Structure 1
Amino acid sequence: MKADNFALQSYLSRIGYHGGAKADIATVTEMMRCQLFTVPFENLDVQAGKVISLVPEEIVEKILNRNRGGYCYEVNGLFAMALQSLGIPYQFVAARPMFYPVKRPKTHMAIVLRVNGEEWLCDLGFGSYGIRAPMRLSLVDVEVKQDADTFVLNKINDHEYLLKALVDGEWANQYAFDLSPQDWIDFVPANYLNSTHPDAIFVQKLLIVLHDSAGRKILFGDMLKTVKNGRVEKQTIAPEDIVSILSDKFGLTLNAENCSTPHKF
């Protein structure tokens, strides 16, 4: 995954990564954590009636130069550029969201990378219950604690994995994936569906998620949910306050430079 305007140092500055960056799992883990804490998962452009661009240079311009976030293809695509700059081999995988009442297509993108002969799942774009650090694929059926969250990888069959998260004391399916490598262009149809289809959650409601060491902040429609060390606070936001919440809680400023199309709120 390359973009002519991507520079590793600019990326590291954007996410607040300090220190040396090496082709090892410690660097990957810290980069993933820094990006999750600084680059929001967000669908502002979809809410503005836009189809999300998958042009790599436009992703870099949006997130690095305009201080925006994005959804899975954008934030994972940007992370893949950093992996490539470090010389870390990886592949994109197509994942099937599993929390819907009916079977859904494989519309989610995640990354599987290889370091010292080990394969690791990385994902910076699954929103509320996304993983917060790389997960070793060889470590199946073992609970993995990541800050206040807990995850587990199960094997559905010989080639397919299922990611689960512990939600309110119950294991909740998040998504399933296999190791069939996907090219960047393979996600164009799924991106169009998520950007335009009336049944897509990104079309229906505003969704912003920003992680931190204690949990996450989630703005879903007009509901702001703050998760801190497992405790949840909810607050209904008035329409006239949405813009200030985006700025104060998520570091997102709506202006002519950032968002050229009027939003629904």
Structure 2
Amino acid sequence: MHSDNFDLSTYLRRINYTAQVSADSATLNALMRHQLFSVPFENLDVQAGKVISLVPEEIVDKLLHRGRGGYCYEVNGLFAMALEALGIPYCFVAARPMFYPARRPKTHMALIAEVDGRRWLCDLGFGSYGIRAPLALDLLDTDINQDFDIFRLTRDAKGEYLLQARVEGEWANQYGFDLTPQEWIDFVPANYLNSTHPDAIFVQKLLIVQHHAEGRLILLGDTLKTVTAQGA
């Protein structure tokens, strides 16, 4: 993921990261958490009637220079630029959101990074129950505690990966994906759907999620919810 106006030092300042960076799993983990805690998930432009731009330079301008957030294509696209600058191999994957009552197309974007001999699921743009740090793909059917959340990766009958989160004591499917690499342009139709279709949650309601070390703030419509380790 390349953008002519992306600068790694500017990115690191934007996410409040001051330590050394290397092409290793420790840096991957630290960058994901710092960006997650600094760049909000938000759909303000969709609510304003705009189709989200997937032009890389416009994403950089919006998220880095104007201090904005974005939804999955924007925040994960920005993270991909940082990985490319660090020389960490990655690919985009298309994921099927599974918290809707009806089956949905693969409209979500996530990343698979390869570092320290392992493949890691990275995702900074899934909103309320998004992972809070990279998940190693080889840790299947294993409970992974991330702060106050619990996640696991499993495989379905077709061999696809399935991300689950522990919600109110039960495992809840979040999204499914396989490892077929996707090109940036492959997400243009999904982005248009999420920006314009009346059934898309981003069109229906304002949604802002700001993660932080102790929890997250969720503004859905006109309702603000605070989630912490002690509960809402």
Bin for the TM-score computed over the shorter chain: over 0.9
Residue in 2 that maps onto 1:251: none
1:66 aligns with 2:66: yes
Residue in 2 that maps onto 1:261: none
Matched residue type, 2:73: Y
Residue in 2 that maps onto 1:164: 164
Matched residue type, 1:78: L
In 2, the alpha carbon distance for the partners of 1:106 and 1:155 equals 17
Stretches of 4+ aligned residues off by more than 6 angstroms: none
Could you say what secondary structure the match of 2:52 adopts? coil
Residue in 1 that maps onto 2:19: 19
Spell out the pairing of 1:56-205 with structure 2 (5 A cutoff).
56-157=56-157, 159-205=159-205
In 1, the alpha carbon distance for the partners of 2:83 and 2:15 equals 14
In 2, the alpha carbon distance for the partners of 1:157 and 1:183 equals 26
In 1, the alpha carbon distance for the partners of 2:99 and 2:51 equals 24
In 2, the alpha carbon distance for the partners of 1:158 and 1:168 equals 27
Could you say what secondary structure the match of 2:58 adopts? helix
1:153-198 Cα distance to aligned partner (Å, 9 max, x none): 0011464100000011111100000000000000000000000000
Aligned residues: 232
Matched residue type, 1:94: A
In 2, the alpha carbon distance for the partners of 1:33 and 1:117 equals 21
Matched residue type, 2:218: I
The percentage of aligned residue pairs carrying the same residue is 70
1:109-156 Cα distance to aligned partner (Å, 9 max, x none): 000010122100000000000000000000000000000000000011
In 2, the alpha carbon distance for the partners of 1:116 and 1:159 equals 24
Matched residue type, 1:207: L
Matched residue type, 2:67: N
Q: Is contact 1:159–1:179 with CA below 8 Å preserved after alignment?
A: no
In 1, the alpha carbon distance for the partners of 2:115 and 2:6 equals 23
Q: Which sections of structure 2, spanning at least 5 residues, go unmatched?
A: none
In 2, the alpha carbon distance for the partners of 1:159 and 1:124 equals 24
In 2, the alpha carbon distance for the partners of 1:155 and 1:137 equals 10
Structure exhibiting the larger radius of gyration computed from Cα positions: 1
Structure 1 vs Structure 2 CA RMSD = 0.7
